[in-house]
Amino acid sequence: MDMLQVSVWRGAASGGYRTYEVPRQESQSVLDVVTYIQRSIDPTLAYRFACRVGMCGACAMTVNGVARWTCRTHVTKVAKGNAIQIAPLANLPVVKDLVTDMREFFDKWARARGQFVPSATRKDDFARVASDSPGRVAANAGIECIGCGVCYASCDVVSWNSGYLGPAALNRAWTLVNDVRDRARRERLAAVAGDAGCHACHTHLDCSERCPKSIAPTAAIAGLKRAVALAAWKGEL
């Protein structure tokens, strides 16, 4: 039987790679490989997954140096010969082995004012937003983000500037800036401006290149830069 040589990160911030031999199978995903190791070779391996079908984003890891959803990554697509290297997502503290601490990632969504602030009450009628209105179209482009952290782990700016809000939080802010029902636009634009916000983006496009949902956070960040500049110009920042 063909065997895969799988090098897996073991430990936390300090640790090392340990190599496991895993039988190669047809239509095998990288998550299948990790699951095999944990169930059949070393039950102490820690990793995270839930849906296994690309809906939850929990299984994101670094595979051969690239952040990916392991459930949607076929071994044939990434294996170099018979070798694969699997590590936790970059730019996040490692809890154990392949499990990262996502708190900072989601705290940054909150810092970017990622919460919807309604302008209407429950007594008001439903807002009617035309599906082809510019705001709705702009929000649609980023609304499918499931918060897997692949973009955040792929972002060079996050690795240089730990305070940087990152592509996912800024993408979320951009969807809300375009939501006509929201009333926190001014506060949100102030929250995403500056060195920790949209102005820190260098447009490397790694986030857009790696997003498994084909979202382009770079475009959202460019939109925020325009909106923030316009707000500053009008004295609304």
Partner 1 sequence: MGAKSETWLWIAQRASAALLALCVLVHLLTIIYAVRHGLSGAAILERTRGNAAGLAFYSLYVLAIAVHAPIGLRTLCQEWLGWRNASLNWFMAAVAVALFAFGLRAAWAVFV
* Residue 50 binds to partner 1 (criterion: CB under 8 A): no
Q: Which residue in the set 99, 165, 191, 216 belongs to the binding site for partner 1 (CB under 8 A)?
A: 191
CB of 99 to partner 1, least distance (A): 28
Query: Of the ranges 81-89, 116-124, 125-133, 223-231, which one interacts with partner 1 (CB under 8 A)?
Result: 223-231
CA distance 228 to 190: 8
* Residue 221 binds to partner 1 (criterion: CB under 8 A): no
- List CB contacts of 175: < 8 A, sequence separation 6 or more: 138, 139, 142, 143, 220
Give the interface size with partner 1 as a residue count (CB under 8 A).
18
Residue 95 CA from chain centroid, whole number: 18
CA distance 16 to 104: 24
* Residue 217 binds to partner 1 (criterion: CB under 8 A): no
Q: Which residue in the set 56, 199, 205, 219 belongs to the binding site for partner 1 (CB under 8 A)?
A: 199
* Residue 222 binds to partner 1 (criterion: CB under 8 A): no
* Residue 120 binds to partner 1 (criterion: CB under 8 A): no
Tokens of residue 80, six digits: 């170099």
- List CB contacts of 45: < 8 A, sequence separation 6 or more: 8, 10, 34, 37, 38, 97, 98
CA distance 169 to 146: 11
- The angle subtended at Cα 93 by Cα 88 and Cα 94, nearest 5°, is 45
* Residue 157 binds to partner 1 (criterion: CB under 8 A): yes
Q: Are 6 and 78 in contact (CB under 8 A)?
A: no
69, β-bridge pairs: 60
Q: Which residue in the set 193, 207, 211, 215 belongs to the binding site for partner 1 (CB under 8 A)?
A: 193
* Residue 234 binds to partner 1 (criterion: CB under 8 A): no
* Residue 161 binds to partner 1 (criterion: CB under 8 A): yes
CB of 122 to partner 1, least distance (A): 33
Q: Which residue in the set 197, 212, 217, 223 belongs to the binding site for partner 1 (CB under 8 A)?
A: 197
Residues of the shown chain interacting with partner 1 in the complex, contacts defined by CB under 8 A: 157, 160-161, 190-191, 193-195, 197, 199-200, 225, 228-229, 231-233, 237
